[in-house]
Structure 1
Amino acid sequence: MKKRQANDTIKGYFYQFNKTIYEILSQSNQTTKIIVEGIEDIDIKGENINNTIQCKYYSKQSYNHSVIKEAIIYMLKHFSNNKSSNLRYKIYANFKDGQSKLPSSIQLNFFKDNFLTYKEKGTIHKVYEELNLTDNDIEEFMKKIDIDINATDYDTLEANVIELLKKELNISDELVDLYFLKAGSIVKNIAIQETEDKRTITKKQFINLLMDINIILDKWYISKVNKEKYCSLIRKKYFSEHNISPYERFFIIECYENTPISTLKKIANVISNKWSKLSKRTPQPFCPYIIFSNLNENELVSLKQSLHNDHFKFIDGYDFRGAKFSVESITQEANYKNEIQIKILDIKEIDNVLKKINKTKEIYQFYINKKIYDNKNEHHVVIKIDELDDILNII
């Protein structure tokens, strides 16, 4: 029972986030402000709009006036302190059934009795009296509140958001799921910010974040699709080239504690096979750089020794025992003569190496817990994974 309730709660959050995305993308004015968790779940402030929306998802529950009473009372209290405001209050709620209980035209006494009165510990509370509001005040509030208890169901709302994403971003059906996940992740991360300023975003800012090259998601949103589909989406987005350009590519990989050497070797082999060209006929031969983060010195030496034993040719910028790291050494061209398959690099040396290289550079960072490197000057893709084997399924 508890698990079902938790799932329903999480689905309610997703529903609210989807409604937030829909409101952001629906704005005709790119600079209209959307505040997540403002007065209500979603506030919209623009030149000709000033709305606050309470979003509720009760797909397994029948409608009763009491279910939305608390939200209406909260809105009334806000109204009582802001009577001259042009703010419109909106309740957007999805119910299984029972919507016919709410009259299409709500009269004053019905509104007062069913939404502004409650009983607690044997005492009847008339909120409008406690707030010293007249009937005229309540009628004015009623003009400013929209109650929608026939809100779109979960699947339809999600489909509407996906269609808006395709339209606004001009993206294909193949990749829209990836941007949908990122959109939800952006909204979730905005919602947990402490200040209202940081919980505020415009359509223009939102689209810029969506179109940023990084696909940074959290486990909550990755869980919306299965692992196989997630890896497939990332692969289609970044690693589906057939004619690979001779760029200098850097793969930064966050390793977990006691990562098996066999796993690291497998990753090194796959990256080398996919992202290197050393044949004599290749006019601009190249091979990738790999950074295995969080490995201690002994683990790194063991990896290098194992690769060497397999006759896997690599360089690491150290030309002899006791030598200092050499940028010139590690940036030497890989070709059919020296057969260098990968270049193993320490994270602390990456900036020096990037400065040395004049060719086009690409950085792909795979992280499990947190990003370990930032670079806004180069093509830098950041990808969330749950385990290192995900890399094999992605690239």
Structure 2
Amino acid sequence: MSTVLDGGYYAIKGFNFQYDYTIIRILEQTNELNEIEIEQTEDYSDENIIVQVKYKERANFSNSQVKKPLCQLLEIFKTDKRKPVLYAYFKNKEEQEVSLSLQNLNDIIGDCKIKNKQYSFEEELKTEFINQFRIIFTGKYQEQFEVLIEKIIKEFNCEEEEALIYYAQIYKYIEKKVVNNAPEDKHKRLCSKKEVKELITNSREVIFHSSYTQFLGKEKYYKFIYKRFFRETNINFHERIFLFELPENFEDTNLLIQLTRKIMERYYKKVTFGGSTIIKSPAPYIFFQNAKDTVLKNMKTELLSEGIIFRDGFCFEGADFFLRNLLEESTPQNNIELKFINRYEYIKEIISQLHRTKKNI
């Protein structure tokens, strides 16, 4: 059983290595509209090159290790003259790019037979092939991953924590290109740099708590959130709207209470000067997408029991939504410390009625 499990480990790592290489090449495109082919002719291909990717963490380089990929690339080269590349890691090879002589090639491919498949290559084809072909011996899995994260940081002008999040999104997007397109539809396995940039642009301000926590680890994730949203040094008089996308049917009332308290403590500010009290920063608005009504009710009940005053647009039991109730200004007299938005459809109307500077978080 351990051998089977080990095989699965190295197979998955090999796929990760291949997709990481693909993402690097996509981000390196100078023309953002260039469409990269993913697992079509080979593992990776674009308008100039065809690449087979191999990650042999436990193996030393030998002719037998590269016989099959070279025969496959030679076969493709019969009809496709894009530059053939073998991008590979072997534990006994330093990072370098090498070419082959005709003798090297013949030593590797030998009789050109792989299991029951017999290849046949003319000497003229082999000569043309070695003039184009290169083996790129690359670094370890982790080293390539670190290069990729640095490229994401530079491309999207972000911190490492955000880059890790963007990496997970891009990787899943690339993977779906393959998984969702069967072999007969492999021509649809295309991706451009423009697509990747739009993917991140459209999602970078949305925080999916559960998936991000799982990916970064709770401690690192909390540090990221604190650094991003709770270290503002000068709390000015802004109307702040906090929007949180929760997992479907979210039920952790205690987590919402803790988060709500933290937002209130940080962003609701009143100060006293010469005996007069003023509101320096008004009650923040909070919206929890996907939170059950029962969870919101339990949260509000707990906050009321603690003496925290809030508005949610409902003046009495069974009442319809009343916008003026939610928009009521925080004053030293009414001590409104929080405002809850119960439905997504209320947000646009609320924003249109706020005339002070707004910050959507």
Q: 1:258 to 1:112 in 2, by over 3 A?
A: closer
The correspondence for 2:282, drawn from 280, 286, 300, is 286
Q: 1:25 to 1:312 in 2, by over 3 A?
A: same
SS at match of 2:67: helix
Partner of 1:113: 110
Partner of 1:55: 53
Whether the aligned pair in 2 keeps the contact of 1:21 and 1:184 (CA below 8 Å) is no
The correspondence for 2:133, drawn from 117, 141, 145, is 145
The correspondence for 1:89, drawn from 51, 75, 84, is 84
The correspondence for 1:355, drawn from 325, 343, 352, is 352
Whether the aligned pair in 2 keeps the contact of 1:56 and 1:94 (CA below 8 Å) is yes
Q: 1:336 to 1:248 in 2, by over 3 A?
A: same
Whether the aligned pair in 2 keeps the contact of 1:117 and 1:127 (CA below 8 Å) is yes
- Matched residues in 2 for 1:346 and 1:178: separation? 29
**Root mean square deviation, CA, Å:** 3.5
Partner of 1:306: 302
1:223-238 equivalences under 5 Å are 225-238=216-229
Instruction: Give the residue type in structure 1 aligned to 2:21.
Output: K
1:152-301 equivalences under 5 Å are 152-169=139-156, 175-193=159-177, 194=181, 196=187, 199-202=190-193, 206-207=196-197, 209-210=199-200, 213-214=204-205, 225-245=216-236, 246-254=238-246, 259-279=251-271, 282=278, 285-301=281-297
Whether the aligned pair in 2 keeps the contact of 1:20 and 1:187 (CA below 8 Å) is no
- Matched residues in 2 for 1:244 and 1:294: separation? 29
Partner of 2:340: 344
Whether the aligned pair in 2 keeps the contact of 1:184 and 1:221 (CA below 8 Å) is no
SS at match of 2:46: strand
Whether the aligned pair in 2 keeps the contact of 1:181 and 1:217 (CA below 8 Å) is no
Where structure 2 has 5 or more consecutive residues not aligned to the other structure, the ranges are: none
- Matched residues in 1 for 2:318 and 2:214: separation? 47
Q: 1:261 to 1:154 in 2, by over 3 A?
A: closer
Q: 1:179 to 1:158 in 2, by over 3 A?
A: same
Q: 1:298 to 1:335 in 2, by over 3 A?
A: same
The correspondence for 1:23, drawn from 10, 22, 25, is 25
- Matched residues in 2 for 1:4 and 1:167: separation? 35
Whether the aligned pair in 2 keeps the contact of 1:285 and 1:333 (CA below 8 Å) is no
- Matched residues in 2 for 1:336 and 1:198: separation? 60
Whether the aligned pair in 1 keeps the contact of 2:209 and 2:245 (CA below 8 Å) is no
Mean CA deviation greater in 58-67 or 316-325? 58-67
TM-score (ref. length: structure 1): 0.72
1:92-112: CA deviation from partner (whole Å, max 9, x where unpaired): 01011279xx99534253354
Residue 68 of structure 1 pairs with residue 56 of structure 2:
no
SS at match of 2:329: coil
Q: What's the % identity of the aligned pairs?
A: 24
Instruction: Give the residue type in structure 2 aligned to 1:191.
Output: E
- Matched residues in 2 for 1:267 and 1:177: separation? 20
Partner of 1:376: none
- Matched residues in 2 for 1:260 and 1:242: separation? 30
What is the count of residue pairs matched by the alignment? 341
- Matched residues in 1 for 2:99 and 2:129: separation? 17
TM-score (ref. length: structure 2): 0.78
1:90-144: CA deviation from partner (whole Å, max 9, x where unpaired): 1101011279xx9953425335416x31233xxxx4212xxxx533234333433
Whether the aligned pair in 1 keeps the contact of 2:209 and 2:246 (CA below 8 Å) is no
Structure 1 residue 75 displacement after superposition: 2.9
- Matched residues in 2 for 1:220 and 1:95: separation? 34
SS at match of 2:283: coil
1:328-379: CA deviation from partner (whole Å, max 9, x where unpaired): 2212222322111211222243333233334444444xxxxxxxxxxxxxxx
Whether the aligned pair in 2 keeps the contact of 1:251 and 1:288 (CA below 8 Å) is no
Whether the aligned pair in 1 keeps the contact of 2:268 and 2:283 (CA below 8 Å) is yes
